[in-house]
Amino acid sequence: MSEAEKKRGEISRDAILEAAEIVFAEHGFDGARVDIIAHLSGYDKKLLFRYYGDKLGLYAEVLKRAEQEAHALMAVAFAPLLEDTGAPTQAHQWRHFLTTMVQTLFDYLLAHPRFMRMLTWEMAEGWQTFTKIAERFPPEYTDQFEILFQKARKAGLLRSDFLPVIQFTMLLQLCQVYLLSLPLYQTLLPDVDLSSTSALAQARDYLTDFVVAGIMGRFED
pLDDT tens for residues 161-205? 899 889 888 999 999 999 999 999 999 999 999 999 999 999 999
CA-wise closest residue to 57 among 16, 25, 22, 26: 16
List the domain range (segments joined by +) for residue 34.
1-53
CA 213 to chain centroid: 22
In this structure, the answer to whether residues 96 and 45 fall within a common structural domain is no
In this structure, the answer to whether residues 32 and 80 fall within a common structural domain is no
Residue 169 lies in a domain: yes
Higher pLDDT, 114 or 77: 114
Task: Give the pLDDT band of residue 5 (cuts 50, 70, 90).
Answer: low
The domain tally of the chain equals 2
In this structure, the answer to whether residues 18 and 105 fall within a common structural domain is no
What number of CA atoms fall less than 13 Å from residue 32's CA on the CB side? Answer: 23
Measured distance between the N- and C-terminal CA atoms of the chain, rounded to whole angstroms: 60
Strand spans (E) along the chain: none
Residue 117 lies in a domain: yes
* 157 and 219 Cβ atoms separated by less than 8 Å: yes
In this structure, the answer to whether residues 125 and 188 fall within a common structural domain is yes
* Rounded Cα distance, 75 and 96, in Å: 15
In this structure, the answer to whether residues 36 and 122 fall within a common structural domain is no
Give the per-residue pLDDT at 218: 62
* Rounded Cα distance, 102 and 98, in Å: 6
In this structure, the answer to whether residues 24 and 68 fall within a common structural domain is no
- 105-126 mean pLDDT: 95
* Rounded Cα distance, 192 and 196, in Å: 9
The conformation of residue 192, written as its DSSP 8-state character, comes to: S
In this structure, the answer to whether residues 14 and 74 fall within a common structural domain is no
- The sign one gets for the Cα dihedral 145, 148, 152, 153 is positive
Phi, psi of 89 (to 5 degrees): -100, 0
Residue 2 lies in a domain: yes
pLDDT of 221 > 70? The answer is no
Say what the pTM is: 0.89
In this structure, the answer to whether residues 45 and 73 fall within a common structural domain is no
Residue 58 lies in a domain: no
Q: What is the CATH number of the domain that holds 85?
A: 1.10.357.10
In this structure, the answer to whether residues 2 and 107 fall within a common structural domain is no
Give the per-residue pLDDT at 81: 66
* 153 and 83 Cβ atoms separated by less than 8 Å: no
Residue 221 lies in a domain: no
* Rounded Cα distance, 190 and 4, in Å: 53
pLDDT tens for residues 122-149? 999 999 999 999 998 877 667 777 888 8
In this structure, the answer to whether residues 3 and 111 fall within a common structural domain is no
- 54-71 mean pLDDT: 92
In this structure, the answer to whether residues 147 and 186 fall within a common structural domain is yes
